[in-house]
Amino acid sequence: MDDLQTGVRNKRGDWAPNQALEVAPFWSWPPKLTQIPAWVVGYFWPWNLVAIATTALWWNYVVPGMDVARTLAWGWVLPLFAANWLGLLAFYGFFEWRYYRRRVQDRSFKYNGKFPAEQPSDVFWFQSQNIDNFLRSFLVSIPIGTAIEVMLLWLYASGHLPSLSWEHNAFALAGLVLLTSFIHEIHFFFIHRLIHMEPLYRWVHSVHHNSVNPSPWSSMSMHPVEGAAYFGVALWLLLLPGHPFLAVHFFTIAAFGAIVGHIGFDRIELPGGGAMTPHAYAHYLHHKHFDVNYCDNGNVPLDLWFGSWHDGSVEGERRMQERYQAKVARLNARRENP
Ligand SMILES: [Zn+2]
Ligand SMILES: [Zn+2]
């Protein structure tokens, strides 16, 4: 498919969609009822269904029985860590290999006209965004996320944390599984706003933002403090009703789901001839402009409510520039009248 049918490419080779991003239709007033069926399909396919299937796979074949998890022991912790590590290597490796190494669709639908491998920089370990992002993800973020997952599984298994049962609370638990990505989105928005403040930005979050042109390996490339805050979303289970399945699902959404927003393409061609829309543009704009789109999407429109929403349109660009000018004026006024 010709990407210029649905978007434009500038002189630098960067592609942008013609259609502006929209928040979920039930947040509009009056609600855009006719758009809700399409939103529901987009909510499940592809990412939520992939996430639920992944959690089910882990739950059945990797996570030990609660009688085993009752005792903290390397015998079950190490296999879980190995499965997380290898599963994420295979998942991210697939996207990296297919779209950034083999480049099966070259730059078609690619937001940034360059590939990270073409842009060596001193901000990265070994001057390579790919090596830097890979090492930070696999040596820092995944171990931190797994440690939080292990702690929660042990708390449930040892009875320190009460658990609902699928037998008696199936509807409540299914609802919580479906709400997990909303909880993740809200959690991510607030920790993300926080780490954009100085000095946290300089000390912590700038590591992630070194990747102005994100690729799959960038997804979990984080400072350890950000990794803990990011995977800390699962700690909401200390307050919410829950189940060990949810401890695994929060990890899945945070770890596998981090790829949303870092794929770098608006449409990707799948093996077998199909294509999918990975919903990556909102977070791509965040990497490009920094002070917009602290959420990954508009399912919970916190960016709209807090004034940081950029829908990719000319109007969105104008609003961002206005906000930026107002911020500069505020900082200047404060400097002149301390
Ligand atoms: Zn990012
Ligand atoms: Zn950020």
Q: For 179-197, what is each residue's pLDDT tens digit?
A: 999 999 999 999 999 999 9
Q: How many of the other CB atoms lie within 10 Å of CB of 60?
A: 8
Distance 50 CA to ligand 1 centre (A): 20
Residue 31: cis peptide before it, omega within 30 degrees of 0:
no
Task: Write out the two tokens for 219.
Answer: 């997804």
The pLDDT confidence band at residue 337, using thresholds 50, 70 and 90, is confident
Residues whose CB is less than 8 angstroms from the CB of residue 2 and which lie 6 or more positions away in sequence, other chains included: none
Task: Write out the two tokens for 100.
Answer: 């950034």
- The reported pLDDT for the residue numbered 296 is 85
- What's the rounded mean pLDDT across residues 301-327? 94
CA atoms within 13 A on the CB side of 286: 25
Cβ burial of 336 (10 Å; 0-12, 13-18, 19+) is exposed
Distance 209 CA to ligand 2 centre (A): 6
Q: How much of the chain exceeds pLDDT 70, in percent?
A: 100
Distance 195 CA to ligand 1 centre (A): 13
- The reported pLDDT for the residue numbered 336 is 84
- The reported pLDDT for the residue numbered 335 is 84
| pLDDT tens, position by position, 250-297 | 999 999 999 999 999 999 999 988 899 988 999 999 999 999 999 988
Distance 137 CA to ligand 1 centre (A): 12
Distance 261 CA to ligand 2 centre (A): 12
Distance 221 CA to ligand 2 centre (A): 12
- The reported pLDDT for the residue numbered 209 is 95
- What is the chain's mean pLDDT, rounded? 94
- The reported pLDDT for the residue numbered 103 is 97
How many whole angstroms separate alpha carbon 47 and alpha carbon 255?
12
- The reported pLDDT for the residue numbered 334 is 85
- The reported pLDDT for the residue numbered 45 is 85
Distance 201 CA to ligand 2 centre (A): 8
| pLDDT tens, position by position, 74-85 | 999 999 999 999
Among all ligands shown, which has an atom nearest to the Cα of 296? Answer: 1
Distance 205 CA to ligand 1 centre (A): 10
- What's the rounded mean pLDDT across residues 154-169? 95
pTM to 2 decimal places: 0.94
Among all ligands shown, which has an atom nearest to the Cα of 195? Answer: 2
Residue 244, pLDDT above cutoff 90: yes
Task: Write out the two tokens for 336.
Answer: 């002149």
Residue 224, pLDDT above cutoff 80: yes
How many whole angstroms separate alpha carbon 77 and alpha carbon 91?
21
Among all ligands shown, which has an atom nearest to the Cα of 189? Answer: 2
Distance 69 CA to ligand 1 centre (A): 33
| pLDDT tens, position by position, 33-56 | 999 999 999 888 889 999 999 999
The pLDDT confidence band at residue 116, using thresholds 50, 70 and 90, is very high
| Cα 31–Cα 34–Cα 37 angle in degrees, nearest 5 | 105
Which sign, positive or negative, has the C-alpha torsion 127, 130, 133, 139?
A: negative
How many whole angstroms separate alpha carbon 170 and alpha carbon 73?
30
Residue 338, pLDDT above cutoff 80: no
- The reported pLDDT for the residue numbered 211 is 92
Please list, residue by residue across 210-246, b when 16 or more beta carbons sit within 10 angstroms of its beta carbon and e when fewer do: bbbbbbbbbbbbbbeebbbbbbbbbbbbeeeebbbbb
Distance 306 CA to ligand 1 centre (A): 19
- The reported pLDDT for the residue numbered 273 is 85
